[in-house]
Amino acid sequence: MRISVFGLGYVGCVSAACLASMGHEVVGVDVNPEKAELISRGLAPVVEERIGELTREVVQDGRLRATTDAVAAVAASDLSLICVGTPSAANGSLSTAFLERVAEQIGRTLDGTRRHTIVFRSTMLPGTCEDLLIPILERASGLKAGTHFGVAVNPEFLREGTSVRDFFDPPKTVIGESDRETGDLVAALYRDLPGEVFRVPIPVAEMTKYADNAFHAVKIGFANEIGAVAQALGIDSHRVMDIFLADRKLNVSPAYLRPGFAFGGSCLPKDLRGLVYAARRADVSVPLLSHVLPANEAHLQRAIDLVIGADRRKVGLFGLSFKPGTDDLRESPLVEMAERLLGKGYDLRIYDANVTLSRLMGANRAYVEQRLPHLADLLTDSAQEVLDHAEVCVVGCKDQAVLDVLTRAGDRPVIDLVRLPDAEQRRAEPGYVGLGW
């Protein structure tokens, strides 16, 4: 199948490369010429497990190319996969500006001579597709959705850091379809992949993503609060959760249910705000969901209080991205921690093996430039250099280089946000403290 993928961030880049590796002819589209140029050279614009090799392979084989020309991309494809961002405002409302722009561009390109299918992969609140995007497509094209062109919502369930694996081994496939023919075409994309396929009305597909991410966020918040209480009572929270997770009949899956650091990233905080905002507009009370982000903020503050309690001014921060295995800094709790510590006058040095300032781009770069404009002065490519600087070590990742230098930490206080592999032994050492265990 000939496919155009709009938006070459984490979801778009991975979707484009994976679909191309399955034998499809794919053209990636992005307004950022640097991203298009990177892919054209066989380089992935994001840091992800396996994405570099996969991108190089499919570009060399001629199955993936990239452009900034949306009109040419639509003309050269039968299906357009929309993976642009939907950033949130402070009140939780989502910006649909990028979705509207792409819908307008695609709509103007459609002429009715052949049936084109538009598939929205971006996360958006229920009603966005039918009430906003389809009218834009119909108005711009003069054609009728479900008749002259197909529309579907196909939410992704890709975790940053393991997104290539998740693409080829999805927990499920959800297709919200405007008509049967469209659903058949989208289902054909994933025919050879495992997992149950759900073909549902478009609003159901939109809501599914929010249900998943809200629950993931609730699970993390729940585990972290249990960890905080257990620690206060002198109990190892991970032993408690081992027992909790052994009940596979009444309790939930193990995913995310390990006490650790606060959650962040481009999905969970944004989607929680969006869902709470939508509930508020509908005059529906959601006290649990509306308190998950404050609970997450309280957990972040616990970590900051541990640093303050160490009473040392030179801080070595190991890790900066919102989770291991990615360079995504958007709404990273480690970025927030760094910003607050700098504001309090701490002398900070940072190491993250996946974060290179020159490689950051788009919304990711804009976010860190806003929150940590002096990151270039703080970031180093040497874990040892950070250790040499540090009077107290704050550990937010488990990279091997970090594990190696921590064996030389000596009597420096170590604040563990991720439960290091040797946490059980370290708990008996003076100066070591875990966040929730």
Per-residue pLDDT reduced to its tens digit, 397-436: 999 999 999 999 999 999 999 999 999 999 888 899 999 8
Alpha-carbon dihedral angle through residues 96, 101, 102, 103, given to the nearest 10 degrees: 80
pTM of the shown model? 0.81
φ, ψ of residue 112 to 5 degrees: the values are 85, -5
Cα–Cα distance, 193 to 172 (Å, whole number)? 9
Cα–Cα distance, 79 to 108 (Å, whole number)? 15
Query: Which of 100-109, 229-238, 291-300 bottoms out in mean pLDDT, i.e. has the lowest?
Result: 229-238
Burial (0-12, 13-18, 19+ Cβ within 10 Å), 196: exposed
State yes or no: pLDDT of 238 exceeds 90: yes
Cα–Cα distance, 130 to 147 (Å, whole number)? 15
The reported pLDDT for the residue numbered 299 is 95
Across 73-94, average pLDDT: 92
The reported pLDDT for the residue numbered 6 is 98
The reported pLDDT for the residue numbered 281 is 87
Is there a catalytic annotation at residue 267? yes
User: Could you give all domains of the chain from N- to C-terminal order, each with its CATH number?
Assistant: 2-202 (3.40.50.720), 295-434 (3.40.50.720)
DSSP helix/strand/coil, 347: strand
- Residue numbers in the known binding site for NAD(+) are 30, 35, 86, 123, 160, 270, 330
The reported pLDDT for the residue numbered 431 is 92
Q: Within 10 Å of residue 89's Cβ, how many Cβ atoms?
A: 12
Task: Spell out the long-range contacts of 57-60 with Cβ–Cβ below 8 A and sequence spacing 24 or more.
Answer: 57/21, 58/17, 58/20, 58/21, 58/26
Sheet with 79-82, side-by-side order of all strands: 64-67, 25-29, 2-6, 79-82, 116-120, 149-153, 172-177, 196-200
Tokens in use for 345? Answer: 């006058």
State yes or no: pLDDT of 154 exceeds 90: yes
Three-class SS of 214-248: HHHHHHHHHHHHHHHHHHHCCCCHHHHHHHHHHCC
Across 332-348, average pLDDT: 94
Q: Look at phi and psi of residue 147 and say left if phi exceeds 0, alpha if psi is from -120 to 50, else beta.
A: alpha
Cα–Cα distance, 137 to 144 (Å, whole number)? 9
DSSP helix/strand/coil, 52: helix
- Residue numbers in the known binding site for substrate are 157-160, 209, 256-260, 264, 323
Amino acid at 140: A
Rg (CA), the chain: 23
Q: Within 10 Å of residue 357's Cβ, how many Cβ atoms?
A: 11
For tokens 């009430």, what's the residue? 131
In sequence order, which ranges of 142-267 are alpha helices (DSSP H)?
Answer: 163-168, 180-189, 202-232, 237-246
pLDDT digits (tens, 9 = 90+) for 157-167: 999 889 999 99
Across 191-212, average pLDDT: 95
The reported pLDDT for the residue numbered 387 is 97
Which candidate in 83, 267, 393, 397 is catalytic? 267
Q: How confident is the model at residue 288 (pLDDT cuts 50, 70, 90)?
A: confident
Q: How confident is the model at residue 380 (pLDDT cuts 50, 70, 90)?
A: very high
